[in-house]
Structure 1
């Protein structure tokens, strides 16, 4: 099989292929995190990154899949991948149930939208009324623009952001079909806020979280008002509430 990834999806495909006794190739941008490249290789996958950019990586993967008869596993725009990412929402609910917490707001990092779409689908029946908010880098707010305009918006080039998992041009089409009707809003955070969130998680919580995964905490650290009328400020004063921040990766370059 073959996948295109900035790193985290590539690790998942590499591990799955290894468990099934299959070969895996992962197409990654030439400037991908060295930590993520090393992790993909450690799971046994072949990494193709020479001359690969954020703009052409899907084209390269599609061509390699056709040339070598490989099954392409898309990082987000695939119903089975979305279903897999939905298990994060199921895990969230199971953990909250064990400690007696009912989430009112869930913040989710947004790149191609697979994780956001999956969590929406996982929560909509088991947790009706929950507010789901996506978080994007300010330099790559295609999802925010898409919700505002009611159509799928694509960026001209991959955003130059530290959140490498969100260097996408646009949301996946399947993801957009889910997100457009289920996500309250998408907010953005600056790279400076992301860096502060990474430091805060490390210094206060002793957690190593990569920039993309820390975007949710960056948004939460701003305070309730900044998440808007559909966010934390919609919770009545005195009403017990829990805010969940999805931390979607810990592959940090030292």
Structure 2
């Protein structure tokens, strides 16, 4: 098994240079209604406006663009519930690389269609009875395709960290400082990269994670001091956040930087989706709304503070979105 070094802020700035001209610099949105609801100044980093509808393109491009020509010719394989899958598929399409995506059969149809539309080959598996890692490893060993992990790799973490680099730069340009930042937690790659940016550019900012009930592996890991595992692999609307456990690299970064982790319910996520649509005109998927849900539910105390919320993705099936609006 390859042991990777921990990425640092220099890796994040290098990733930003690679992403220039390829990724969208997503805006920070605000709403007087959200400020009034929370008693805080809320700014929302709108990653649903990123290529493929989530932050995942950032890490995928940073990883694939560093592959050798020989490796690109052999292709890539990735496993994902959908957003990393689409990010890898899009990066591979742009680079002319064949991609095989291992995705759970219960992944939202919109995410499966997104992978296929970008020309990638889709391999479905049963989330409860099969191991996506084992399937991807077998494909990699058989075909020579490079395995592109969804979060626990320095290139992925650094790429996701460019979202943090952007938001802290944009905050500084407005003369603002973030007292609190709240971000979703799945495997920890996004918040890990953001923590690298926060440590360098805004060390006073308190960083909180948000994860779904029944999948609170980061919350339990912070208490125990070791990486805890989730007993289940499915059973939450927040499909994008259902990782088995924190990554080795991501937990090494996040353990020392996280102020805490808020655990949110499906109902909290649906409420936040509706609030984002009504007040920001922004479409979020349940997992993408987790951070906003943590704030609106009061699970992270924000009153009187300047708060950045990461809205991480918007690839939601219409039926789930209709449920949120209803």
Show structure 1 runs of 5+ residues with no match. none
**Correspondence 1:130-145 to 2 at 5 A:** 130-145=205-220
| CA distance, structure 2, for counterparts of residue 96 and residue 135 of structure 1 | 22
Cα contact 2:127–2:234 (8 A) shared by 1: no
Show structure 2 runs of 5+ residues with no match. 1-75, 319-326
Report the counterpart of residue 191 of structure 1 in structure 2: 266
TM-score by length of 1: 0.92
Report the counterpart of residue 127 of structure 2 in structure 1: 53
User: 1:22 Cα shift?
Assistant: 0.8
Of 167, 178, 191, which residue of structure 1 is paired with 2:253? 178
Query: How many residues get paired?
Result: 242
Report the counterpart of residue 82 of structure 2 in structure 1: 7
Report the counterpart of residue 253 of structure 1 in structure 2: 317
CA RMSD in angstroms comes to 1.3
| CA distance, structure 2, for counterparts of residue 170 and residue 137 of structure 1 | 13
1:22 counterpart SS class:
coil
Report the counterpart of residue 112 of structure 1 in structure 2: 187
| CA distance, structure 2, for counterparts of residue 99 and residue 232 of structure 1 | 20
Cα contact 2:241–2:287 (8 A) shared by 1: yes
User: 1:99 Cα shift?
Assistant: 2.4
**Correspondence 1:47-196 to 2 at 5 A:** 47-49=122-124, 51-53=125-127, 56-196=131-271
Cα contact 1:27–1:52 (8 A) shared by 2: no
Higher RCO (CA < 8 A, seq sep 6+):
2
| CA distance, structure 2, for counterparts of residue 193 and residue 232 of structure 1 | 16
| CA distance, structure 1, for counterparts of residue 302 and residue 224 of structure 2 | 23
2:231 counterpart SS class:
coil
User: 1:88 Cα shift?
Assistant: 0.8
TM-score by length of 2: 0.72
User: 1:35 Cα shift?
Assistant: 0.3
Tell me, yes or no, if structure 1 residue 232 matches structure 2 residue 302.
yes
